[in-house]
Chains A and B, each alone.
Chain A
């Protein structure tokens, strides 16, 4: 979280490039290099945004009462069933928050994307880079439209977090 995005992007570019054995192994495994590809962009974004997902996930799973876990175990739930039927549903709001926060963070990300993916139309050109290019070309009308799309996506995502966090009713005495 504390690493500047451009620095992380640079490290990933070097790591996934042909100069390292890891990069060469990945290239031979996939048949193409990860750098300057959409897949590489996804890998870089996951690494960069994961810390922002971890915090709500930890908070969500920690908030599940241990008594509920004990009850499920006593009723014969396997680990998989415990996770599927108790932990995930009870932490669903945190899962949604984690997904939305990561999405928003990734959508606005610039440094890792540009460093690792370049600016290849149809492959690694993201909305944020499009917006940057439009401003650089003094095409403010197009930049306004792109910014509006990004703004709408952010508002939609924030609404999703807000709605998923609304209480569903109180406990009766």
Chain B
């Protein structure tokens, strides 16, 4: 369970979130500029120091505090067992795909590291890319590798900020299913931020609706996104065959 109490101001933007994500897989749904990425960065432990420090933040995962501004506690990003994948894959350009995926496995012995890298690349259907350099990857391939890199350390909290935007619909759906299954198997609490209603509906998970920095609804996808589903259905029925 992920507990969040967050209050942060950046210029005229005010992010105020108080909630509990009880599902293993939660989708934060909202339009661009709603504060999804900002929220995920705070959860990851980024932007918690000056000058972007929130006014108030309390983040706990399964009862363990990750951040608590009232007591001055803030675990460093690398000490939170948290991984994050953003839209921008941010692969290290000077390292091979294998070295990128292995980067977070510095405390794992060499043979286990190699097998974990192969396992993760296989999971995201990118095993054939293992010796490539990031500059030789397409956008979709880079996102797959970034996912493999994030999963490799087996995080307890997995934050996904529109991580499949460069993949086509079918590939994205297939990867989401694999990701969900992996997260369940490894007990990784996952928070997926998206503005794409189909992504949110496809996972059939708990959905939190974020609008202008505020959570306006939280609950099962079918309920929270009922309007979105109707809109999508209408749009599909209006499209010519």
A and B from one assembly?
Answer: yes
Q: Which residues of A contact B138 (CB under 8 A)?
A: 172-173
Which residues of A from 144 to 173 have beta carbons under 8 Å from B? 168-173
Q: What CA separation (Å) do A73 and B76 show in the bound complex?
A: 8
The reply to whether A75 and B103 contact each other, CB–CB distance below 8 Å, is yes
Q: Which residues of B contact A85 (CB under 8 A)?
A: 103
Given contacts A76-B106, A76-B153, contact A71 B135 (CB under 8 A): no
- B97 adjacent to chain A (CB < 8 Å): no
Q: Which residues of A contact B45 (CB under 8 A)?
A: 74
What is B's interface to A at a CB cutoff of 8 Å?
A: 44-46, 76-79, 82-84, 86, 88, 90, 92-94, 103-104, 106-107, 135-139, 149, 153
- Flag the segment in A51-59, A62-70, A125-133 that touches B: A62-70
Contact among B88, B90, B135 for A171, CB-based, below 8 A: B135
Q: Which residues of B contact A32 (CB under 8 A)?
A: none
**CB closest chain-B residue, reference A167:** B135
The reply to whether B103 and A169 contact each other, CB–CB distance below 8 Å, is no
Q: Which of B78, B88, B136, B137 has the most CB of A within 10 A?
A: B78
Q: What CA separation (Å) do A65 and B86 show in the bound complex?
A: 14
Given contacts A68-B92, A90-B94, contact A74 B135 (CB under 8 A): no
The reply to whether A74 and B92 contact each other, CB–CB distance below 8 Å, is no
Q: Which residues of A contact B149 (CB under 8 A)?
A: 71, 75
List the count of A-B residue pairs having beta carbons below 8 Å apart: 64
Given contacts A65-B90, A74-B84, contact A172 B77 (CB under 8 A): no
A: contact size bracket: 20 to 34
| Chain B nearest CB, measured from A165 CB (Å) | 15
Q: Which residues of A contact B84 (CB under 8 A)?
A: 70, 74
The reply to whether A74 and B94 contact each other, CB–CB distance below 8 Å, is no
Q: Which residues of B contact A72 (CB under 8 A)?
A: 92, 103
Q: Which residues of A contact B139 (CB under 8 A)?
A: 173
Q: Which residues of B contact A86 (CB under 8 A)?
A: 92
Q: What CA separation (Å) do A74 and B153 show in the bound complex?
A: 10
Q: Which residues of B contact A81 (CB under 8 A)?
A: 106
Q: What CA separation (Å) do A77 and B76 show in the bound complex?
A: 10
The reply to whether A170 and B46 contact each other, CB–CB distance below 8 Å, is no
**CB closest chain-B residue, reference A68:** B90
Which residues of A from 112 to 147 have beta carbons under 8 Å from B? none
Q: What CA separation (Å) do A73 and B106 show in the bound complex?
A: 13
| Chain A nearest CB, measured from B74 CB (Å) | 13
Q: Which residues of B contact A75 (CB under 8 A)?
A: 78, 83, 103-104, 149, 153
**CB closest chain-A residue, reference B47:** A70
The reply to whether B90 and A70 contact each other, CB–CB distance below 8 Å, is yes
**CB closest chain-A residue, reference B142:** A171
